[in-house]
Structure 1
Amino acid sequence: MAEIRKLNTADADFQSQLDALLAWESVSDGGVNQVVHDVIADIRARGDAALVEFTNRFDGWEAKSPADLEISLDRLKQAWETIPEAQQEALRHAAARVTAYAERQKMEGWTYTEADGTVLGQQVTPLDRVGLYVPGGKAAYPSSVLMNALPAKVAGVGELIMVVPTPRGELNELVLAAAHVCGVDRVFAVGGAQAVAALAYGTQSVPPVDKIVGPGNIYVATAKRTVFGQVGIDMVAGPSEILVICDGDTNPDWVAMDLFSQAEHDEDAQSILLCPNADFVAQVERSIDKLLPDMQRKEIIETALRTRGALIVCRDLDEAAEVCNFIAPEHLELSIADPQSYVKKIRHAGAIFMGRYTSEPLGDYCAGPNHVLPTSRTARFSSPLGVYDFQKRSSLIMVSSAGAEVLGKTASTLARGEGLEAHARSAEYRIAES
C-alpha cells in the first residue's frame, strides 16, 4: 500500500500540519551556492574556454571548440523532418493553440490628451533578446520549448537563444523539432549554471540576453536567482504541485491518476486532495493502491506521495476554497459540479482546471494557457508566464505650455519641500513670468 498522510481540517493541529506539509526551500544550500558562484565567475572571466570545459566536465562529452557547442538551424530542421508524423502533428496542434492564447495577451500602447494639450500614455515594446533554458537528457521537455518560446515570439522578441544540456552528447530529437516549429534563432548544447552565466553575461559565442526563462535543476535555479538584476528571470521554480478539490462525485480512479500526474515529476512534487466526503477520500486512497503498482515511475510517485502528499477531509467546499487560497497551488483542479460559480471563491492559484473532464496534463501540453506557473505558494503574488513577461512598458509624458504652468508650480513646491533646488528650478524655468 502507498503511504500518504491523511489530514482533517477539524483537527486542532491542522494548520501546523499543513504548514509542515507545504514547507519547501526552493534554493539551496551553501555548497550549491558556492559552486554556482564559482562557475559564474569563471564564465565571466574566461568566456567560451570555461564554457567548453564545464560542458565536457558536467555533460560528459568532448567539445573540441566553442563551435561544437552550437546546434545549427539545419540540424533543427533535420530533427523536425525525421520525427514521426504523429509527433509532428501534435507539435503543430499544441503550438497553434499556445500561440492563439498568447495573441490575446499581447499588450498595446495607449495615450490620452488632457484639456490643456498635455499628452500622457504608455508605450509597449518587446525585449530585444531572450534566453530559453530547456532541460535535456532524461528530462527532455519539448513542451517547455513551446511554452517559453511562443509567447516570446508573439511579443515580438527580436532574438531567442536556446540552451539545452546534452549529457554524453545526446540530442533529443523532439526538443530540437520543437525549437524548429517555434522559430528559435540559435541553439547551444550547454546546460547548468554555466549556461545561465553565459546567457546573462555573454561569451565570445553566446550573446548576452535581457531575460532568462525556463526550468532547470537546483544549480540552474540557483544560478538564475544569482544573475537576477544583471538580467530578468521568469521565476525561481520549486517542485511541481497539484491540488484537487472534489465534491465526491468524480471517478476516484481519475482523481488518483491526477495526483500521480504531478507526483511522477520528481520525489519532491506535491499532490493534495481536498474533499468534504470522507468516504470518497477513502475510495481515492484505494484507487491509489490499485493503480500505483503498474505505473512506470512507481518509485518516484510513491516517494512523492509519502513525503509531500496528503488526502485532506474538510467540512465543506467553502472551507476547501479557504484552504486552497492558503496553499496557493501551482495547478488546481476543480472536480466539482459547478466549477464556473465556485471559481469565484479562488484567489490564489497558478492555473485552474475547471470541471471533471479537465485534466491537468491538458494544460501541460496543448490547452493553450502557459504551463510555466508559480510554485511554493508564490501564486499569492505571481502569475503564469505570458506574453506580458516579454514586453515592457515605457511611460509617455508630453506636457503642453499651459500644462507646464500648472504642473511646474506643483513640482516646484514639492521639490523645494524635499530640498532639491535643481529639480524645482528645472520646473520653474518652464513657468512663464507674470
Structure 2
Amino acid sequence: MGTPAADGTGRDPVTVNLMDPGLMADPFAGYGRLREEAPLVRGTFFGRGTPMWLATRYEDVKMVLGDHRFVNNPASVPGLDVENIRRRELGARGIPADLAEYVLESVLDADGADHIRLRRLVSRAFTARRVSELRPRVEQITEELLDRLAATAEDGVADLIEHFAYPLPITVICELVGIPEEDRPRWRAWGKALVTLENGGMGEALREMVAHIHELIDRRRAAPTGDLLTGLIRAHDEDGDRLSDTEMVTLVLTLVLAGHETTAHLIGNGTAALLAHPGQLALLRSDPALMPRAVHELMRWCGPVQATRMRYATEDLTVGGMPVRKGETVMAVLVGANHDPRAFDDPERLDITREPEAGRKETHVGFGYGLHYCLGAALARQEGEVAFEALLRRFPDLSLAVDPADLERQPMPGSWRLARLPVKL
C-alpha cells in the first residue's frame, strides 16, 4: 500500500497502521524507527483510506505546526474539496453527522480569524496571572484528595489514576468553567467513553454531553455567576456574531475534556516515570526547586499527547526536503520529535535537569507549537508541579505496586495513557 516515494527514489514509502498494537504499546521505539526511516512516512487509521504523511523529526514537526501554509480545517484549503479524515473516521465509528460537528468545529480545528476569535473568548482564563491566582485552590484540592487517598487503598495499594490523577484536574477545570460538583462524575464517565475504541459508546456520550451543556447554559443564563460559562453566555447574548450556539457548546466541551484528560495522564505518566527512576526521584526530593524543570522533562519524555490533529497543506511545499502537495494531510508526531537525537542529547534518558531554567522558552513540543499551542499549558504545568510536590511530600515511601513493564496502558492512537496506576503508599 503506498504511492511513489516522495524522495524521488521510486520506492514505495513506509506505510504504518496507526492502530497497530505494537506501535500503540511502544510508540517511543516504533516512531523512533520511523523517524530514522525518512523525514516523512505514510500512515493510516485501521489500514484504510487515503494515507496521510507523518512528520516525526523535531524540526519538521515544528515546521508543520508553525507554518501558516498548513491549516487544521480541510475546508480552509483554497480551490480544493479535501476529505476530512477525522469526519470519515467518526462516521466509521457510528457518530452521526449532527454530533460530529461538535467534535470537528472546535477552536482546535478553526483557522485564521475564526481561531483567533474563539481563542480570545477564553484566553483570559488561562493567562499566567490568572493561573497563578488559581494555585492556592489547586493546592487545596490536592491536599484534600491526598487526605482521602489512603482510605481508597486495598491491601495497601491505591489506584493513583482513579483517585488522584483524574479528580484533581477535572475539579479545577470544572470550577473554572462552571460545571457543578454534582455533575462532575458524569463528565468522568463521558471522558472514558470518548476514548474507547468500541463503536457506540462515543456517540451516546457525545449526545449526553451536548444535552447537558445546553441545560447548563439555560441554568447559568437564569442565574449568572463569575465563571467562564457565564462569560461565554454574555458574549453570545450581547453579540451573536462573536459566538454561535454551536460554538458555545463546543468550547465548553473542548475546555472541560482537554482541560483534564491531558493533565490527568501527565500526572499518571510522570509519577510512574519517577517511581521507575529512583535516581531522578531522589534528586527531585533533595532539590524541590527542580520541580518546574522536572515537569517539562516529564512532558517531553512521557507526555500524554503523542500526535497532533491533522494539518492540510494549502499549497505545494516541502517538509524535511520531501514534497507535500496542496491538499495533502500531515500529522505531527510529538513523541518522535521529543525523542529526536537531532534535538536532544541522549533523548531516551530521563533527566529532570534537562530543560532550561524557569522563564526560558521550553524546548520540547509536548504542548504543541505555533498558533495552536496548548491554551491551558500553564495551568497543566502548575497542576503537575503541585501534584508531584504534594504526593512526594505526603507519601515519602511511595512505590509502584507492580513492575513498570506490567503497567496497563489504554490502547489509544496518538495518546500515552495508563488505565490504572497501582501504588503502595
Query: TM (normalized to structure 1)?
Result: 0.23
Which structure has greater strand proportion?
1
Counting helix residues as a fraction of each chain, which structure ranks higher? Answer: 2
With a CA cutoff of 8 Å and minimum separation of 6, indicate the structure with the bigger relative contact order.
Answer: 2
